[in-house]
C-alpha cells in the first residue's frame, strides 16, 4: 500500500515548527525519524493533512548533564544515545536498552522523542523513562510544560500530548550508586519488538529487596510502574523462589490481553521468568 496524499513542510527552527502546529492543530503531524510514522501512513493507519519534518532541527538534538540530570533532545537519534559515553556513565540502563531497540539502520534514523511520543507498548525507552523517574519537556506556541513520564502514558498508544504540542526534551535523573539496575527482554529475534521486557531499578539491603521500580513492556498496554509487584517484592530474599504471589501480582499490574500468537497467560509466564532473572542479575552503577 502507498501513503495517502499529504503536504510536506520543513520548518527552519523550533519556533517555526511550533507556529505550524499552532496554526494547523491536529491536521499537522511531526515527522522525526519516520521509522514508525511512515509505516503507519503506508498502512493507511493515519492520514494527516500535513507532515512537518523536524528531523533537522538542531534545537532538538544533543545530550548534556547538569546537576545530576541527563537531558536528551527529542530529536537525538537512538544510535547517538546508545554510543554516548555520557549516557553510559550516568544511565547504563538506557545504554543497555538501546541495544535492543530495533536494528542499526532504524537506530540511525529513529529518535528518542519519536519513540516516547509514539508510545508503542513494546518499546524499551518509554519503560526505561518511567523506571528512571524521567520528565518530559513539552513545548507549544502558548509556552512550555514539564510532565513526569509516569503521568505521560495513559493507554495503548495514548499519551498526555495535546494537539499543538511537541516533545522537545527528556530529562532523566542520573542513576546512583545506592540503586541497582536490571534490564531484560524476550523477543523472537534480537531487534524485534519485545514479547515481554522489564526495566528495573532496585534498592537492596543485603540480599533483601528494600525498594523496587519495575516497568514491563511488550506484555502490557503502556509504560507504568508495576506497583503491586513492587509492594510484594519489598522484604523478599533473593534469589526469588518460585511462588504464586508473583504471577498473581503481575496479572493484576499488567492485565495483559491475548494477542495473535501470544496468550495473556503466556505473557504472565514470560514476565514472571523475566522478573526472577532480572532481579537475580541486577548490576551496580560502579560495575559499568
Ligand atoms: P516517527 O516515526 O517520525 O514518529 C512517530 C510518532 O511520534 C508520530 O506520530 C510523530 O508525529 C510523533 N513524534 C515524533 N517526534 C515527536 C516529537 N518530538 N513530539 C511529538 N510527537 C512526535 N522501537 C522500539 O522501541 N523497539 C524495537 O524493538 C523497535 N523495532 C522496530 C523494528 C522496525 C522494523 C521498525 C521499522 C521500527 C522499530 N521500532 C522499534 C521503532 C523505532 O524505534 C522508531 O524509531 C520509533 O518508534 C519512532 O521514532 P521516529 O523518530 O522514527 O518517529
pLDDT at 143 over 70: yes
User: How many domains are contained in the chain?
Assistant: 3
More confident residue, 228 or 190: 228
| Ligand 1 atom index nearest CA of 29 | 11
Whether residues 215 and 236 share a domain: the answer is yes
| Ligand 1 atom index nearest CA of 161 | 20
CA of 248 to the centre of ligand 1 (A): 33
Ligand 1 pocket at CB < 6 A: 29-37, 39, 74, 101-102, 106, 110-111, 113-115, 117-118, 120, 123-125, 161, 166-167, 193
pLDDT number for residue 18: 95
What CATH number does the domain containing 217 carry?
3.30.390.50
Q: What is the pLDDT of residues 81-95, one digit of tens each?
A: 999 999 999 999 999
pLDDT number for residue 288: 47
| Ligand 1 atom index nearest CA of 187 | 28
Q: What is the pLDDT of residues 241-268, one digit of tens each?
A: 878 999 999 999 999 999 988 999 999 9
Please identify, among 132, 150, 173, the residue that sits at the C-terminal boundary of a domain: 173
More confident residue, 26 or 277: 277
Best mutation site among 114, 138, 195 for ligand 1, i.e. most ligand atoms within 8 A of its Cβ? 114
The whole-number average pLDDT for the span 202-226 is 97
Whether residues 63 and 84 share a domain: the answer is yes
| Ligand 1 atom index nearest CA of 123 | 25
Whether residues 85 and 158 share a domain: the answer is yes
Q: What is the pLDDT of residues 152-170, one digit of tens each?
A: 999 999 999 998 999 999 9
CA of 192 to the centre of ligand 1 (A): 14
CA of 69 to the centre of ligand 1 (A): 24
CA of 24 to the centre of ligand 1 (A): 22
Strand 135-140 and strand 69-73: the pairing is: unpaired
Whether residues 98 and 166 share a domain: the answer is yes
CA of 68 to the centre of ligand 1 (A): 27
Q: How would residue 286 be classed by pLDDT, with cut points 50, 70 and 90? A: low
Whether residues 184 and 121 share a domain: the answer is no
Q: Would residue 1 count as lying in a domain?
A: no
| Ligand 1 atom index nearest CA of 36 | 2
Q: What is the pLDDT of residues 219-234, one digit of tens each?
A: 999 999 999 999 999 9
Task: At 27, list the grid cell.
Answer: 491536521
Q: Which residues pair with 211 in a beta bridge?
A: 203
Sequential DSSP letters for 117-180: HHT-TT-HHHHHHHHHT-EEEEEETTEEEEEEHHHHEEETTEESPPTT-EEEEEEEEPP-TTSE
pLDDT number for residue 101: 97
How many whole angstroms separate alpha carbon 193 and alpha carbon 185? 9
The whole-number average pLDDT for the span 261-283 is 95
Q: Which residue's C-alpha comes closest to atom 13 of ligand 1?
A: 114
How many whole angstroms separate alpha carbon 276 and alpha carbon 271? 9
Q: What is the domain extent for residue 272?
A: 180-287
Mean pLDDT across the chain = 95
Please identify, among 173, 204, 221, the residue that sits at the C-terminal boundary of a domain: 173
Q: What is the pLDDT of residues 109-142, one digit of tens each?
A: 999 999 999 999 999 999 999 999 999 999 999 9
What CATH number does the domain containing 37 carry?
3.30.43.10
Whether residues 34 and 76 share a domain: the answer is no
How many whole angstroms separate alpha carbon 96 and alpha carbon 279? 16
Task: At 128, list the grid cell.
Answer: 526505561
pTM of the model: 0.96
Please identify, among 141, 173, 205, the residue that sits at the C-terminal boundary of a domain: 173
What CATH number does the domain containing 89 carry?
3.30.465.10
Q: Which residues pair with 214 in a beta bridge?
A: 200
Whether residues 17 and 43 share a domain: the answer is yes
Amino acid at each position: 500500500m502507498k501513503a495517502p496524499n499529504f503536504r510536506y513542510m520543513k520548518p527552519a527552527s523550533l519556533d517555526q515548527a511550533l507556529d505550524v502546529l499552532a496554526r494547523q492543530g491536529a491536521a499537522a503531524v511531526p515527522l522525526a525519524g519516520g521509522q514508525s510514522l511512515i509505516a503507519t501512513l503506508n498502512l493507511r493507519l493515519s492520514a494527516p493533512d500535513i507532515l512537518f519534518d523536524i528531523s533537522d532541527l538542531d534545537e532538538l538534538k544533543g545530550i548534556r548533564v547538569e546537576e545530576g540530570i541527563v537531558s536528551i533532545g527529542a530529536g537525538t537519534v537512538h544510535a547517538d544515545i546508545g554510543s554516548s559515553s555520557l549516557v553510559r556513565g550516568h544511565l547504563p540502563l538506557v545504554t543497555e536498552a538501546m541495544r535492543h531497540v530495533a536494528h542499526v539502520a532504524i537506530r540511525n534514523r529513529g529518535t528518542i522523542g519519536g519513540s516516547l511520543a509514539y508510545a508503542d507498548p513494546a518499546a524499551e525507552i518509554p519503560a526505561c523513562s518511567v523506571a528512571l523517574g524521567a520528565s518530559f519537556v513539552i513545548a507549544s506556541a502558548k509556552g512550555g510544560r514539564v510532565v513526569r513520564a509516569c503521568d505521560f502514558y495513559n493507554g495503548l498508544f495514548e499519551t498526555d500530548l495535546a494537539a499543538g504540542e511537541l516533545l522537545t526534551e527528556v530529562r532523566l535523573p542520573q542513576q546512583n550508586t545506592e540503586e541497582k539496575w536490571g534490564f531484560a527482554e524476550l523477543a523472537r529475534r534480537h531487534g524485534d519488538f519485545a514479547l515481554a521486557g522489564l526495566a528495573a531499578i532496585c534498592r537492596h539491603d543485603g540480599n533483601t529487596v528494600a525498594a523496587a521500580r519495575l516497568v514491563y513492556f511488550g506484555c502490557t498496554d503502556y509504560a507504568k510502574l508495576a506497583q503491586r509487584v513492587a509492594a510484594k517484592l519489598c522484604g523478599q530474599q533473593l534469589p526469588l523462589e518460585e511462588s504464586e504471589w508473583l504471577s498473581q501480582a503481575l496479572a493484576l499490574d499488567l492485565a495483559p490481553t491475548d494477542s495473535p500468537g501470544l496468550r495473556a497467560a503466556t505473557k504472565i509466564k514470560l514476565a514472571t521468568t523475566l522478573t526472577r532473572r532480572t532481579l537475580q542479575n541486577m548490576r551496580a552503577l560502579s560495575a559499568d
